[in-house]
Structure 1
Amino acid sequence: MSTTEVTAAVDALEALAAHTSTSTSAPLARVLNENFAVARERILAGSPPKLVIAELQANLARAKKDVEKGLKAWYAALGNVGKSVDKSFPPNLSAISAAYDDPPLFVDAAASKALDNIVLDSLGQRGLWDSVEAFEEETDLHYDPDKRVLSEELYRIVRDIEAGNFSSAIRWATENKDFLAAPPHPSSLPYHLHRAVFLSITDRKEALAYANAHLFVYMSTQPVLSLVTSCLYGVADDSPYANDAAPLASMFTTDYCRRHGWAREDPLEVVVDLGSRGGALNAIEKARRVMGERLGNVRKWEELPMEVPLPASRRYHSVFVCPVSKEQATDSNPPTMLSCGHVVARESFTRMVKTGKRSAKCPYCPQETSLTSAQRLYF
């Protein structure tokens, strides 16, 4: 590594530092030493003080310009030193720490086994049992038999829903009704299953009897009356009462996975989707080309050093920031909607409630909201 450019830049900086034009005190000292005494004598001799002081101010302004000009050249020379150092001594992070080594992916036995487990689990969650058995033969891994039973049940019920048979799904929802009704995310799956059965019945009298037996219990939370009266009219293809099984199958899959603690989506599919179609890999590779080794090893990043636009379905964290506390909402401090419609964090609203009162004034409008009226929001 050559030091010639660094030495030349340092010499230029030292020359500027030694010159009186780049000193912050030299021009001012000259004004004081050379002009202040003269000005004093002129005033004592009878010269108009206003004129003498004006001339002294003009000299001071010229000295200020000299200081600014000198400092500008000095800072430019200092910047050249930094550029020369970066050019002559490029960072070699891999020589500093083994953390910056970049070995091929999954060469380690534990990492390779972890990848195989992820692929096997993904095949099982998709119900591709022929592929699961072939994968088990090629590796020493085995799919959890209990999980296989659950996965087979899931896909059997999903196939029934897609075929228009809702009995198995309703039976499962009945067996798990306590879980589906539990807060903080009570599910409307049972209503939508019975709604699908109701819409599939062509005989109006039979449909009304089914609604009376299974749908009116949901009147407090669902538009049951609108649904029931819809059977009096014809159903167009774009009608909100058209019986589409695809959303219902997706809703059932979500609740089934939640019931057994599974990810709602296949984790391997999510990673591949974010990396390829989501554009994360392209953004990371571009950052590595532009920033080089200054970003360090990508495997050590705790967060991406650039923004990667993602669709709403791929955003897994709350993006709400309280306008009062400026803090991001959490499960313990969730976003809370006031009676006026404005939203703040729960802790901010609690602090706004004065001692001895049960309500607080909105920070953005005059309307007050009681503690019992504030509602938690879910993003």
Structure 2
Amino acid sequence: MDVDTIRESFDRVSEKQVQYATRSQEVIDQLIKEIELTIANLQETNSDQSTILAQLKTRIDEITPLAQFEGCQKELNLAIARYTKLLEKTFTTDISKAYRDVEMDIPTINEIIASHFYRQGQFEIGDRFSAEAQVSESDILKSPFLEMHSILQSMKQSHDLGPALAWVARNREKLLQYGSSLELKLHELQYVEMLKAGKRVDALKYARTHLAPLANEHRAEIQKVFACLLWEDRLDQSPYGDLSSPSHWEELATEMVRQFCGLMGQPFESPLAVTLAAGAEGLPTLLKLAAVMQTKKQEWQEMKQLPVPLDLPREYQFHSVFVCPVLREQGSEENPPMLMPCGHVLSRQSILKLSKNSTRAFKCPYCPQEGTVAQCRQLYF
């Protein structure tokens, strides 16, 4: 079932809902009009009130509002029912079938969850979770993220780069070892903000004090910064307009988080968020595998390795992993990948089986070329 079919079914439901709402409003407006007309007749004429009310009842009976409501509602309910059945047929609602009962280090899992809350700046939730889950050393997890979010808050809310520059000064040596240009970017932004505020003299003094010492490593960038003086009144229209863009603050805040986490030995993305996202990507394959194993009356919970690969997007691939295309097993120190003379790669065990334990030449399973075990070379990723 493709996505287009689901989208078309949803569009039909949406169309029926709009039709139902429009028709219902028309009936309601018609009823209001009849009632207002009846009230006016009662106030302006000496006719018998019972006669006027009887006429109102007759006109309402002719409109048949309940029948019209029920007809529209029936069509809408039918469209919703068909859409629901399509979703149930297309998607597996019970994802517990993909669950594998594996042993987990609960204290470590709790630390990861608490660290995720602190990383997101949700300190109150992180404290409550740490207390209930009895996370040890929660203060150690929390402290660096408190400083990080304090710096980010100053940057985003007050456009104050002071805390960020102070942090960079304290960690200058470590940042230089990583090849970071964060200090240059912060001073550059501070300089541009002074120019935008019309403080030309102050900006020039600031550049000579903080940017000039960085000229040897970042000559091109420093030249561009000083050239901004020529466009002081219309910097946003200059060739360097990107430096005055509001998005520059957001980009620099993101870079600040990246460098901060790097010095902490933490990844830029939350490990918990990445794990959940990768799990969601692989969930359809796991559900399909569980269904196939169930039809074959096999228990996939007992399998040490998955019989099918999980093709995750590039953003979830952090380490090179080799899976032998013949044995369908992941490479290891005992069974490393081996490069054959033809350029194809198999695991050592596959090559030994094909060569009858190195007793004869063997043919590559993917091309006509033959080779020997002595001609194969181990690959290192």
Task: Judging by fraction of residues, say which structure has more helix.
Answer: 2
- TM-score, structure 2 normalization: 0.49
Give the greater-gyration-radius structure (CA).
1
- TM-score, structure 1 normalization: 0.49
